Homo-oligomer: A and B are copies of this chain.
């Protein structure tokens, strides 16, 4: 099965960050050629002349099933926000989680995201819906102390069972989640880390999102969360720490030594007004791999990674009074190659190169907001001028999941209509 994308401006994101004109050829699940004009015959031909062809974006922190909760917890101070979300979230059914997941996947497909890292319970339900949508979830079942959870049974056992039964998904992969040090004892954290090592899957957790979370942990243990997690042996190259907004330089250096990644969530941090700003330049200088997440739909309220890239840059520049930090290329790297590295898939994802999975998106080069479009401003236009809905075609692991803005995998209308009823029920909880 051969698919060829013809006449494209290809933003490869390869090691030399080349932008080349030519064809991309996909055989089954993988890219076999990028650049040279393809003279063979293909099963599917896509004309991308004048368009931008680039790697699918990688969202490394979200809670996809919360997409049905848009606009239910806005403009609230943090304690009020938490009360509201816990009230909404405590009593969900498999059906509404499936609808939320499909709605979120439809949003992600339309906005050019082909891989997302999820942190939630009921990841079995989320896995089924995600596979149906045709994109890739790194699905991290949330582990926390039993006294804090609404999960039935022991969360670590639930996670182990999910990972065991979901080893063989076609695109998605299981992972281990940890809610955060505020609801996870040392034993719980160590248990999750052991499981992640045993299965060789990512360990994804919230870290230092709010100042009070940091202060309370320090009062309890004498150490800040990142230091404490390092001391008990939880941090490794498999760790992805969402937020990481309240860090000291000592924590940054400690984190760098472990080979771990963070998932910065600037929109969520700004909207919740949690005050902290992830120190992206220092993290990068100290070898922490920086990736990017939208967080869930109660805090953002969007899964739009184009907007997230731009806002990450705006927040870094403005908070540091330095317009030169996190330039356009750095921001695009964060949303592509760094995301692939965070989930341990650097060899398979993040760029358009022969041998990699065909996770490719095509942006409409005829859109006025992307023009003028020259080689010199292509990266800048993607990061600072593009709009997520400039994405017209999406390929994930060789499958065309959206073509010319029509989603091929889901009955989008049915999902959207069902989402309304779900939110009405959830509103009954508040």
A residues neighboring B (CB under 8 Å): 67-68, 70-72, 74-78, 81, 103, 106-107, 110-111, 267, 269-275, 297, 300-304, 307, 310-311, 313-315, 317-318, 320-324, 327-328, 366-369, 371-374, 376-378, 380-381, 384-385, 387-390, 412-413, 415-416, 419-420, 422-424, 427
Contact = CB atoms under 8 A, between A and B. Distances in A.
Given A70-B372, A371-B416, A384 B321 contact: no
A377 B72 contact: yes
B78 A323 contact: yes
Given A307-B307, A384-B271, A412-B368, A322 B389 contact: no
5 smallest A-B Cβ distances: which pairs? Answer: A71-B377, A71-B380, A389-B389, A270-B318, A270-B314
Nearest to A386: B302
18 contacts: A70-B377, A71-B385, A77-B324, A103-B368, A106-B368, A107-B369, A110-B369, A273-B317, A301-B384, A302-B387, A304-B369, A371-B419, A371-B420, A372-B422, A374-B420, A374-B423, A374-B427, A376-B427
A372 B270 CA distance: 23
A106, A314, A318, A372: residue with the most chain B Cβ atoms closer than 10 Å: A372
A416 to B, nearest CB: 5
A377 B78 CA distance: 19
Contacts of A415: 368
A302 B376 CA distance: 17
A75 B372 contact: no
Contacts of A366: 413, 416
A321 B274 CA distance: 6
B385 A301 contact: yes
So how many copies of this chain end up in the complex?
2
Given A318-B315, A372-B70, A413-B366, A304 B387 contact: yes
B110 A367 contact: yes
A188 to B, nearest CB: 29
A384 B422 contact: no
A327 B74 contact: yes
Given A307-B307, A369-B303, A384 B74 contact: yes
A323 B374 contact: no
A107 B420 contact: no
Contacts of A110: 367-369
A342 to B, nearest CB: 24
Contacts of A422: 372
A16 to B, nearest CB: 19
A234 to B, nearest CB: 29
Contacts of A81: 323
Given A313-B271, A320-B273, A388 B385 contact: no
Given A75-B327, A323-B78, A390-B389, A70 B380 contact: yes
Nearest to A275: B321
B369 A324 contact: no
Contacts of A424: 374
A273 B368 contact: no
A390 B420 CA distance: 19
A424 B371 CA distance: 12
A8 B159 CA distance: 46
Contacts of A322: 77, 273
Nearest to A388: B387
- Which of A107, A111, A272, A273 has most B Cβ within 10 Å? A273
